[in-house]
Amino acid sequence: MFRRFKILLPILTLFILAACRKEKCPDPAQFLIADETRPYFDILKQGNWWSYRRSSDNQSDSLYITSSQLTFDLNEYECRKTEERHATLKSTYYDSAGFYIHYSGDVFGTEFQISNHSFGVTFDTKTEIFSKFSTIDSLTRLSTLVIGSTTYHDVFECISNVHHKKVYWARGVGIIRWIKTTTTGIDTFNLKNYSLI
C-alpha cells in the first residue's frame, strides 16, 4: 500500500498544483486599433499592390505586400493585450531591400510606422488628433490631393528630411505619391494603379 501511495503522491501533487495555479493576467486591458484609423491602414493585406510612374521619365515602380499578419499580443507583465498588424512590402525603387509596416493599438490610441521612419503617425482616441513621430519633420493633413485626373481625399503629407522623403498616404488607398531626394535630383513617383483585396 505504501508503494502505491508513493507512486500516486507525485501525480496527486501535480493535479493539486495545476488546480491552484492562477492566471497571471486573467482580464488584460485591451489596446485595439482605433476604428478611426482602420480606413487608412486596414488595406495592409497580403496580395495588395500599388504601381507608380516617375514624373520625369515614366520609370515604373511598384509596392506589393508579401506578407501580412494580424495578431493579439498578450503582455502578462503589464496585463495588456495589443492588437497588431505587421506587413512586409517589396519594391524596386522605393526601398529595394524591402521594408515592413507596423500598426498597433496603443495606450492612447493607434500607432503606425514604416520601418525606415519616412512615415510615422499616432492617433489619440481621446483628442481624436493625429500626430507625427519624433523622427518626422512634418505631418500635414490635406482634405484633397489631385494627381493627374484623380482626386484623393483625406491625405497625410509626411516629410522626413533625415530620410530625404515625402510620403502622401490617402484614406482607403495607401501611398499615392512619394518624393525622394537623391544625389542626382528629386524623384517624384505618382500612383497609376492599385489593387486592394
Checking if the pLDDT of 175 tops 80, the result is yes
Residue corresponding to grid cell 486592394: 196
Cβ count within 10 A of residue 3 = 7
The 8-class DSSP code of residue 19 comes to H
Please write down the HEC assignment for all residues of 92-138.
Answer: CCCCCCCEEEEEEECCCEEEEEECCCCCEEEEECCCCEEEECCCCCE
Which one is predicted more confidently, 102 or 146?
A: 146
Whether 144 is covered by a domain: the verdict is yes
Q: Tell me whether residue 31 is in a domain.
A: yes
In a domain, 11, yes or no: no
* 40 vs 94 pLDDT, higher one: 40
Rounded average pLDDT over 41-60: 90
Question: What pLDDT does 119 receive?
Answer: 66
Measured CA to CA, the distance from residue 117 to residue 67 in angstroms comes to: 19
Q: How many CB atoms lie within 10 A of CB 126?
A: 7
Lowest mean pLDDT among 122-131, 155-164, 178-187: 122-131
Give the pLDDT mean for 152-173. 87
Residue 18 located in a structural domain:
no
- Looking at residue 18, its pLDDT comes to 47
What number is the average pLDDT over the span 66-81?
Answer: 84
Query: What does the pLDDT read at residue 147?
Result: 95
Q: Does residue 78 belong to any structural domain of this protein?
A: yes
Q: How confident is the model at residue 50 (pLDDT cuts 50, 70, 90)?
A: very high
Q: What is the pLDDT of residues 128-142, one digit of tens each?
A: 777 777 667 888 889
Q: What is the dihedral of CA 79, 85, 88, 91, to 10 degrees?
A: -140
Mean pLDDT across the chain: 79
CA 30 to CA 81: how far, in whole Å? 5
Cβ neighbours of residue 122 closer than 8 Å, sequence gap 6 or more: 106, 108, 109, 110, 111, 112, 130, 131, 132, 133
- The pTM is what? 0.76
Q: Tell me, what's the pLDDT at 102? A: 77
Q: What is the band of 4 on the pLDDT scale with cuts at 50, 70, 90?
A: low
Please report the DSSP string for 27-82 in residue order.
SPEEEPPPGGGHHHHTT--TT-EEEEEETTT--EEEEEEEEEEEEEEEETTTTEEE
Count of CA atoms in the C-beta half-sphere (13 A) of 169:
22
Q: How many domains does the chain have?
A: 1
Domain containing 65 equals 24-195
Kindly report the number of other CB atoms within 10 A of residue 97's CB atom: 8
Sign of the torsion formed by the C-alpha atoms of 139, 181, 153 and 67: negative
